[in-house]
Amino acid sequence: MSNIVSKFKELYVRTVTLPDSGEIKIGQINVDFQDKLLRKIKKLKNEAASVLTYILHLDTYIYNSTKKDLTYKDKLYLLQHWRNIVKVKDTTNYDVNTSILEDTPYNTKVNTAKVEIGFKLPTLTFEIDLLKYLVKAEDPAETDLIFYDNFRFIKYLKIDDTTHNASDLSYEDLRELFLLFDLNLLTPLSEHIATNLKSLNNIRLYEADYSNFLDV
């Protein structure tokens, strides 16, 4: 890299204090991000595939920029930071420390069985792995998006007295499990996640919002 290019990059680097990982130096989202994303999306057939690819591209960009396996709070904080630089007339300052999802299991009944679902906040590399698995499918569908957006938060499922950790399941098994959930189970689960993420949920909406970093 020539001196002038590295100097140019340096001028746009800022120091940011992430909630979990502390201080890091980070550049801004640049044209390279847009170019590579557009090239990937051009080849895709449907909206769900495009959204999953966008999130994967964004997560990978964050990973490559920070070289860290960021926590979910760190990732959303960084997203809000980048968005505020781009959307100067529509900045937000959501608190990323309000989530109570991890401490608030969801309880329900499936037929006669008692079901308890516990939650975690996903790490960046976990999300990247899961997204890679999903975009690998020939024709990802809307259901894959719903699966990703909900099941990445699941830590365990307790059915009556038996606990199954999500980390012990393969992505295939996790997805099979998701397909067994009907709407009566899925809708309140989704609402439970959104509500208990508190203000983190507002930034979560940026994750799949193309318009923040792309001219559409």
Partner 1 sequence: MISFNDIIKISTLYNNKQNDKLLKIFTSKFSYTNILELLHKIKEERFPNDTAAIKLKTDDKELIIYKKSFFPELPEYSEEEIILPNDTIVTIGYPIGNFFSNAAFIKKIQINNIIFEINESNYQDIPISVLNNCNDHIKKYLDKLNNISLYHINEQYNCGFMYCEEIIIHIIYLCFVYDEDILLEEQMCLLKNGGFNYTDFDVISYDQYKKYAKIFMKISKKEQAQYKQK
32 is an interface residue for partner 1 by CB under 8 A: yes
Q: How many residues bind partner 1 (CB under 8 A)?
A: 22
User: Could you tell me the smallest distance in angstroms from the CB atom of residue 196 to partner 1?
Assistant: 32
- Candidate residues 19, 28, 115, 133; the one interacting with partner 1 per rule CB under 8 A: 28
User: What single-letter DSSP state applies at residue 167?
Assistant: G
Hey, which residues between 79 and 118 contact partner 1 (CB under 8 A)?
85-86, 88
Tell me the C-alpha distance between 47 and 122, whole Å. Answer: 24
DSSP 59-108: HHHHHHHH-S---HHHHHHHHHHHHHHH-TTS-----TT---GGG--EEE
Give buried/exposed letters for 37-72 (b at 16+ CB in 10 A, else e): beebbeebeeebbbbbbbbbbbbbbbbebbebebbb
25 is an interface residue for partner 1 by CB under 8 A: no
User: Could you tell me the smallest distance in angstroms from the CB atom of residue 69 to partner 1?
Assistant: 25
7 is an interface residue for partner 1 by CB under 8 A: yes
Q: Which is nearer to partner 1, 32 or 182 (CB)?
A: 32
Q: Using only C-alpha atoms, what is the Rg of the chain?
A: 19
180 is an interface residue for partner 1 by CB under 8 A: no
Applying CB under 8 A, the residues found at the interface with partner 1 are: 2, 4-5, 7-9, 11-12, 27-35, 85-86, 88, 213, 215
